[in-house]
Amino acid sequence: MIDKLSWISVYPEIILLIMACVIALADLGVKSPRRTQTYLLSLLTLAIVAALQASYAVGGVTVYGFGNMVVSDPMGNWLQCFATIAVMVSLVYGRPYAADRDMLRGGEMFSLSLFGLLGIFVMISGNNFLVIYLGLELLTLSSYALVALRRDNATATEAAMKYFVLGALASGFLLYGLSMMYGATGSLDVSAVFKAINSGQIKHQVLVFGLVFVVSGLAFKLGVVPFHMWIPDVYQGAPTAVTLLIAGAPKLAAFAICIRLLVEGMLPLAIDWQQMLMVLSVGSLLIGNLAAIAQTNLKRMLAFSTISHMGFVLLGLMSGVVNGDVHYAANAYSSSMFYVLTYVLTTLASFGVILLLARDGFESEEISDMAGLNERSPLYAGVMAVCLFSLAGIPPMVGFYAKLAVLQALVASGGVFHIGLAVFAVMMSLIGAFYYLRVIKVMYFDKPLTAGTMSAPFDVRAVLSLNGALLLVLGLLPGGLMALCANAVVQMLGT
Amino acid sequence: MGLLSLAIWTPIVFGVVLLALGRDDQARTVRWVALIGAIVSFLVTLPLYAGFKLGTAAMQFVEKAPWIERFNVNYHLGVDGISLWLVILTAFINVVVVIAGWEVITRRVNQYMGAFLILSGLQIGVFCALDGMLFYVFFEATLVPMYLIIGIWGGPNKIYAAFKFFLYTLLGSLLMLVALIFLYTKSGGSFDLATWHQLPLAGTAQTLLFFAFLAAFAVKVPMWPVHTWLPDVHVEAPTGGSAVLAAVMLKLGAYGFLRFSLPIAPDAAHEWSGLMIALSLIAVVYVGLVALVQTDMKKLVAYASVAHMGFVTLGFFLFNDLGLSGALVQMVSHGFVSAAMFLSIGVLYDRAHSREIASYGGVVNTMPKFTAFALLFAMANCGLPGTAGFVGEWMVIIGAVKANFWLGFAAASSLVFGAAYTLWMVKRVYLGPVANDHVKALKDINAREFLMLSLLAIAVLYMGVYPKPFTDVMDTSVTELLKHVALSKLI
């Protein structure tokens, strides 16, 4: 007998699943080359799901459903809500681009995006190793297909191939690690695993052996050094509209499974995984930032910058437990959550501008393609500049507060060594500032290569302006979103 | 809304409006809106002086509201005798700069004017912030408009200069960020400056904090040997950018010493005062000599700025009343004088498009009115009694003599260098017979330039003749600060 609460907790998933199928079918009857009806139906679905998730999140109730298989807690609900919005925004930005490149035929882009989002939902609300894994596979399989959506394009196909092979390898790692944990603890249930590890009855070596594989799998999905190789190639090779889908919402899911697996499942092993995360983080900050300097392709540069930003997220995740004391955990994990959220918000806007600059037969993905953007359109140049300053962590953009929160968590959690790490992180963001500034230089100081103003459909213009404005407003008043993250994480840890 | 909020947000709101105003065919409207915005922003700072209570070191016009509750960051503003004149100076320079850019800037006028207005609001925010994080946000945010000002409207090598400016100053302030977070943790979760001032700290912690703050502020001041960005940036920046940079932005660093380094880490400040005095003296003497051999007028004035700011840091670390008050007066007077010097060079550059001293000679023959102003500012720059430049330097030198005779002697000798490089430049540029056809073709200043230069001339003369309004305001705060710094905070 499945109780009513279980069903309520997965309503958003159910709606999403049904509508993804309905949209795939309904598209058969759509004739318009821009797929306006499919598009509107998808947006409507997403809006309803986002509103539902937000109402759950505001309700603040934690529900375990289907015999502990899934959990619906405020942290998960907020992440799902933001992921839905991110997919929505990605579709808005990506549609004109996709339409110009004949990617909308058959409407798969919409249904695949919804299936990917469903995977994200399952990952975030999964409370069982297998459920989480299923969600992950649903997301990644949809993503592989999305990357390969331009069948006739060689680079996109190559990117899809790379993504598929490396992604499968990573899934294998994760699955192997999870099976080790299962073997050691005898359970797939996240909270049962936690209890088993906490009892101290299980041999530490076996657990750590499994943990190494779990962390490697997660590192692949987050895209941190040394498991980052797929990120630049896929970001660059995928059609930009799909890059946006991969770079946005899935990061929220990756963060969520880190929390579910490492924190909720394996917190007693924190001493071990925190050290691993630290190594990954230092590597990501170093290689991500240094490699980004050498890039001339904007998408590739942003890919390396993603790697470095994920390094920052890990800095927060590794500051939760000090000498077995979980006093700092809420502070640390909420800073990471805030970081991921602001990062996704910024990424959406920056790729939105890149998509806007692309025209039929012209990709506009070199940094030099941005030349003189300020003279062509001060508004879009302004939005892009806000994004880049935010990524560089310059106040009063929201990215600064994200860095501040993570650094604060880091310094609060430890002694001299952590302060040294904080100094290292800020020095790396100084290097980061250089390549972001270079793009701003191209936009503002260089002469435009092509004259002519830019036009964009109304929906893109409106959402993009809103997105840019939100970055600034959050920069002036970041308190609300920070408090939201803190409350969500406190409730998650409390249960 | 309090007066300080008005002083900060009026120019920013006007600046945002200007950014939205758009195209260059509306340049006339844009200029007038900018001028009105700058004047209104200046006027709202005047009640601060009128309502300022003398004889107390407490913060006045305090505003406090929670801003980021999660980190206990407050929107906490206030001014005391140290910051009051800097606020007014900033708003004043902003008016002058808008006038200076009037017809000189023809490309993207709205962005130019908007950037300056926003910059002015942010700088006032730095001087008013009583919360560490709020201070940092304003401090860093000033980089953005300045970067764009240099990069868009600068000279031929502007890209290099813009990057050097941004990255150099960011390097310093990022270390300060770590220091601020460290203090937040140490103080049990507070970014309040007053709390930090009372926070006892161990010796090593103080030393580390002192050097982290030094990294941020020394680059900004700039002190020798991290001054190398300044000449490059000044040379490439547009005239208005140079004026704001020299007049206000350098003061952000000097002000930081007074709000952070000295009161938060007083023991470290005492311990390292020898080093700081040495660096300041090198700036005063050595950089003064470097200025002597410059062939580019802007570079010369830029090096002179470094030398003058050396007096400021010297005054800080003497730890006596005259030295510190003198340094504060010097900050304000240097604001007027350096802005005036850069704007004078701008007047010449707009006509002849050269900053080389060698391309001029005998300007007095064709531009008598302008030369009169230029001479006045040059005299102020070398510290002639009766001008603003004299008061501060003289006080610092007396302070130095009080501390140690030879120290005062070395500082005083720099006056000779100051006179040498300034007067030599004046001789080569303004005096003598007309050197070439370019100089022959020069037209004297128009009404706009006359207005701009006379505003500055009035300020320079007034401050030189009657510095009492300045020193009166500063007096109590200075005494209080010295009292605070004299007490050990070691645990």
Q: Residues B420, B422, B425, B426: is their CA dihedral positive or negative?
A: negative
- Per-residue pLDDT band for A132 (boundaries 50, 70, 90) equals very high
Tell me the percentage of chain B whose pLDDT exceeds 90: 14
Span B353-394, pLDDT tens digits: 888 888 888 888 888 888 888 888 988 888 888 888 888 888
Size of interface A-B (CB pairs under 8 A): 91
Give the distance between the most distant pair of CA atoms in chain A.
71
Closest CA to A247 of A286, A170, A305: A305
Are B67 and A378 inside 8 Å of each other by CB?
no
Tokens representing B331 are 């900050």
Contact B453, B387 (CB under 8 A): no
B152 in contact with chain A, both atoms CB, cutoff 8 A: yes
The pair of three-digit structure tokens given for residue A468, joined into one six-digit string = 């840019």
Can you tell me the mean pLDDT for B242-269?
90
CB-based contact A269:A207 (threshold 8 Å): yes
* Per-residue model confidence (pLDDT) at position B411: 84
Angle at alpha carbon of residue B300, lines to B299 and B302, rounded to 5°: 60
What's the farthest any 2 CA atoms get from each other in chain B? Answer: 70
Question: Residue A253: its pLDDT value, please?
Answer: 93
pLDDT tens digits for A317-348?
Answer: 888 887 777 778 888 899 999 999 999 999 99
Q: Where does residue A280 rank: exposed (0-12), middle (13-18), buried (19+ CB within 10 A)?
A: buried
DSSP reduced 3-state for A261: helix
pLDDT for res A361? 67
**Interface with B, mutate which of A337, A437, A447 (most B CBs under 10 A):** A437
Read off the pLDDT band of A360 (50, 70, 90).
low
Mean pLDDT of the residues in chain A: 88
pLDDT in the model for residue A495: 60
pLDDT of residue A451: 67
- Per residue in B113-166, pLDDT (tens digit) is 889 999 999 999 999 999 999 999 999 999 999 998 888 888 788 888 888 888
Question: From B70, which residue of chain A is nearest by alpha-carbon distance?
Answer: A483
* Closest-CA distance of chain A to residue B485, Å: 27
Q: Vertex A55, ends A50 and A61: CA angle to 5°?
A: 125
Classify B375 in phi/psi space as left (phi over 0), alpha (psi -120 to 50) or beta: alpha
pLDDT at A453: 66
What DSSP assignment string belongs to A193-253? HHHHHHTT-S-HHHHHHHHHHHHHHHHHHHT-TTS-THHHHHHHHS-HHHHHHHHSHHHHH
Q: How far apart (Å, rounded) are the C-alpha atoms in residues A320 and B363?
A: 69
- B16 and chain A: CB distance < 8 Å anywhere? no
CA distance B479 to B321: 7
What is the reported pLDDT for A1?
54
Q: Given a cut of 90, is residue A374 above it in pLDDT?
A: no
Q: What value does the mean pLDDT take over residues A56-83? A: 89
Lowest model confidence (mean pLDDT) among A146-150, A240-244, A490-494, B247-251: A490-494
Comparing CA positions, the residue from A103, A250, A229 lying closest to residue A169 is A229
In this predicted structure, what is the pLDDT of residue A2? 67
- Any B CB within 8 A of A478 CB: yes
| A412, A426, A437: residue with CB nearest B174 | A426
Which pTM was predicted?
0.91
Q: Which residues of chain B from 234 to 253 reach within 8 Å of chain A, CB to CB?
A: none
Q: How many angstroms separate the CA atoms of A426 and A136, rounded?
A: 33
Position A11 pLDDT exceeds 70: yes
Q: In which band, very low, low, confident or very high, does the pLDDT at A15 lie, cut at 50, 70 and 90?
A: very high
Mean pLDDT of A299-318: 92
* A422-456 tens-digit pLDDT: 889 988 988 888 999 999 988 888 888 776 667 77
The CA distance from B142 to B276, in Å, is 26
Cα–Cα distance list, A326 to A4, A226, A260, A406 (Å) = 34, 28, 16, 16
CB contact under 8 A, B170 and A444: no
CA distance B421 to B399: 25
pLDDT, tens only, A399-431: 899 999 999 888 888 777 888 888 899 889 888
When pLDDT is cut at 50, 70 and 90, the band that residue B407 belongs to is confident
- Chain A hits for B133, CB-CB cut-off 8 Å, are 404
Q: For residue A378, which residues of chain B lie inside 8 Å, CB to CB?
A: 19, 22, 111
Q: Using CA atoms in the order B358, B107, B154, B308, what is the torsion angle rounded to 10 degrees?
A: 80
Asked if A404's CB is within 8 angstroms of B181's CB, the reply is yes
Nearest chain B Cα to A420, which residue?
B178
- Chain A residues with CB inside 8 Å of B68's CB? 401, 478-479, 482
Q: Nearest chain A Cα to B157, which residue? A: A445
Share above pLDDT 70 across residues of chain A, in percent, rounded to a whole number: 98
In angstroms, the separation between the Cα of residue B159 and the nearest Cα of chain A is 7
DSSP structural state of residue B115? H
Do B163 and A434 lie within an 8 Å CB cutoff? yes
Mutation target vs B (from A293, A406, A423; most B CBs, 10 A cutoff)? A423
Crossing angle, helix B3-21 and helix B27-43, to 10 degrees? 180
Q: Is A402 on the interface with B (CB under 8 A)?
A: no
Q: What is the mean pLDDT of residues B18-29?
A: 78
Supply the mean pLDDT for chain B.
Answer: 87
Question: Could A378 and B69 be called an inter-chain contact, meaning their C-beta atoms sit closer than 8 Å?
Answer: no
**pLDDT number for residue A387:** 92
